[in-house]
């Protein structure tokens, strides 16, 4: 625990009980600074500050610990709450624990309060350490995937920056279009893996400077299903989204795409976003068989595919973003 005093919020309408509780903590050797509140309004206001722990009497005039616990939960506050009270039924104690109480003590057993307080603070410390470890693992996982995607893209003569540019543009489109926040959190990294299936395509095809033969084109198109096979089935939400994008980012709005000739909303929304982002970056980047088009040229080429190649709503969002970046209004 911290070497400084513990900052405790005490919800208690009895001054006598509050003094007894403070004395019990002092006698145990714990250094504390206690702020006492007596009403719902005062408690709600006090939650704006940081507290090491909250100690709440179960029943106050017009307010009780269950409501206090609901307020803590509604604010998303990860502060341990210990409920103390006189004799009540077991059902009430169970309900307090269900609503997020860290411990429950009777007032005639306050001798256990210092130990209970130390225990809930240690449990919180362990939760925070576990969450930090999980976050570090997630960051390492994502960075590993990002580097692998860049390394794969670097097999071709184009730089590995394609996946970075494309995934960043996909994320911007997702934000612009109001994409679900949970999917949006995974979209940039999932989109970065859209071409992961090219690991199964021969270098001679990937690097060919001229047009592909029909057989070579079919082989190249297989990168969508190969990518899906690599990424699907893990149970990871991130990798399942990446598998969906890998499979569908070459589908077209009118059904002329591949591999499954999906039409309109049959194509998953993330796949439709990835299709627009991928083509725009491809057109504005140098390739082995051509130089990059200018942004204005790329925009016109993509506008010609509105409603055939691309979802019109997503394409319009791209035009808005390009116009915003260049400072010029999108042309119709």
Q: Which two tokens stand for residue 93?
A: 């104690």
Q: Are residues 181 and 249 in the same domain?
A: yes
Residue 103: CB atoms within 10 A of its CB come to 21
In this prediction, residue 147 carries a pLDDT of 67
Same domain, yes or no, for 236 and 280? yes
Say whether both 277 and 186 belong to one domain.
yes
Examine the domain organization and report whether 123 and 158 are in the same domain: no
Residue 133 lies in a domain: no
Is position 176 within any domain?
yes
Per-residue pLDDT of the chain (332 residues; tens, 9 = 90+): 456 789 999 999 889 889 988 888 988 888 889 999 999 999 999 999 999 999 999 888 888 899 999 999 999 888 999 998 876 667 788 888 888 899 888 877 888 889 899 999 998 888 888 888 877 777 776 777 766 766 666 555 454 577 888 888 999 999 999 888 877 888 988 898 888 888 888 888 887 878 889 999 999 999 999 999 988 888 788 888 999 999 999 999 999 999 999 999 999 999 999 999 999 998 888 776 678 788 888 888 899 999 999 999 999 999 988 888 776 655 54
The strand pair at 59-60 and 63-64 is best described as antiparallel
Q: Are 57 and 25 in contact (CB under 8 A)?
A: no
82, 101, 125, 299 from 9: Cα distances, Å = 10, 14, 18, 59
Instruction: With H, G, I as helix, E, B as strand and everything else as coil, classify residue 154.
Output: coil
Residue 54 domain-assigned (yes or no): yes
Claim to verify: residue 105 and residue 227 sit in the same structural domain: no
> In which domain, by residue range, is 229 found?
154-326
Q: For residue 212, give the DSSP letter.
A: P
**C-alpha dihedral (319, 324, 327, 330), degrees to nearest 10:** 20
Collapse the DSSP code of 15 into the 3-class scheme (helix H, G, I; strand E, B; otherwise coil) and give the result.
helix
Q: What is the CATH number of the domain that holds 106?
A: 3.40.50.2300
Q: Structurally, how many domains does the chain consist of?
A: 2
Q: Are residues 118 and 158 in the same domain?
A: no
Tokens of 84: 């103390």
Residues 301, 185, single domain; the answer is yes
Residues 6+ apart with CB under 8 A from 196: 148, 149, 152, 227, 230, 231, 242, 246
Q: Tell me the CATH number at 293.
A: 1.10.3210.10
pLDDT at position 289 is 63
pLDDT score at 264: 95
Specify the pLDDT at position 155: 56
């Amino acid at each position: 625990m911290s070497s400084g005093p513990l900052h405790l919020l005490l919800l208690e309408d009895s001054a006598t009980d509050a003094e007894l509780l403070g004395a019990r903590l002092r006698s145990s050797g714990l250094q504390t600074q206690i702020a006492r509140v007596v009403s719902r309004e005062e408690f709600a206001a006090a939650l704006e500050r940081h507290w090491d722990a909250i100690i709440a009497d179960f029943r106050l005039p017009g307010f009780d610990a269950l409501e206090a616990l609901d307020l803590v939960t509604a604010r998303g506050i990860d502060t341990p709450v210990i409920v103390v009270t006189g004799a009540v039924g077991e059902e009430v104690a169970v309900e307090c624990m269900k609503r997020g109480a860290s411990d429950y003590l009777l007032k005639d057993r306050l001798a256990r309060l210092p130990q209970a307080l130390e225990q809930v603070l240690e449990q919180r410390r362990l939760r925070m350490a576990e969450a930090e470890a999980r976050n570090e693992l997630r960051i390492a996982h994502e960075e590993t995937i990002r580097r692998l995607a860049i390394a794969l893209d670097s097999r071709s003569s184009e730089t590995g920056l394609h996946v970075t540019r494309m995934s960043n543009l996909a994320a911007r489109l997702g934000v612009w279009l109001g994409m679900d926040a949970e999917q949006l959190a995974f979209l940039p990294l999932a989109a970065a893996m859209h071409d992961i299936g090219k690991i199964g395509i021969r270098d001679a095809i990937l690097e060919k400077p001229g047009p592909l033969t029909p057989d070579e084109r079919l082989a190249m198109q297989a990168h969508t299903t190969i990518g899906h096979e690599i990424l699907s089935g893990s149970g990871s939400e991130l990798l399942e989204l990446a598998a969906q994008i890998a499979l569908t980012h070459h589908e077209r709005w009118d059904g002329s795409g591949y591999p499954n000739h999906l039409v309109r909303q049959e194509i998953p929304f993330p796949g439709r976003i990835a299709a627009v982002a991928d083509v725009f970056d491809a057109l504005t980047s140098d390739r082995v068989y051509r130089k990059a088009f200018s942004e204005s040229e790329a925009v016109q080429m993509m506008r010609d595919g509105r409603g055939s190649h691309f979802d019109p709503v997503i394409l319009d969002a791209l035009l808005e973003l390009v116009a915003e970046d260049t400072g010029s209004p999108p042309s119709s």
